[in-house]
Structure 1
């Protein structure tokens, strides 16, 4: 069970990283690349830092691996959702993309996780 201190610390560090990444995004040219510095990477880094501090490198490595799997699966979701929404409509297209996300995430997890 996570302690209240750990949860608050993750929120504060994640918020600080969001602010720092937002500042970097403002400085990046062209602005099309600013999305690379969106909130997700900054919150992930903050979470990993707190995980290392409270639980050690092993748990942080597991969390980082899961984040990588999720990122690849989300990419598959995005690639499937664009054509699926156009062809199948909002509900069925979103459901199709979600199935693709689950399938990719499960397949990679079965291959990567021992």
Structure 2
């Protein structure tokens, strides 16, 4: 329970810091880069480091990077299906889930083994 409270507090502080940075930067399209997910990830990695050590955090960090690459592939495919193929949002996102799954599993197998 204490881990969740610490994650909440640390994540909230980092989100606030990123929001302050976002207010300074232009264009405002950077707002998504400084959303809650990176803040919560940093808080989670910090707590994992204090509890499990550097080796564990290295594996978790690598997994987060691979997950973000798979999400980028998914997002690209969704955009292409929405804009070029003019699919509905539901149809495009459901179809692109297969891309995300293949990318995530493929990256894990290729890079981690």
Q: TM-score, normalised by structure 1?
A: 0.87
Q: What is the root-mean-square deviation in Å for CA atoms of aligned residues?
A: 1.5
For CA contacts below 8 A with separation 6 or more, give which structure has more relative contact order: 2
2:111 aligns to what?
Answer: 112
Matches for 1:32-111 after TM superposition, within 5 Å: 32-86=29-83, 87=85, 88-111=87-110
Q: The residue matched to 1:105 in structure 2 has which SS? A: helix
- Distance across 1 between alignment mates of 2:29 and 2:3: 35
Matches for 1:16-31 after TM superposition, within 5 Å: 16-31=13-28
Unmatched 5+ stretches in structure 2: none
Unmatched 5+ stretches in structure 1: none
**Aligned positions, number:** 111
- Distance across 1 between alignment mates of 2:34 and 2:92: 28
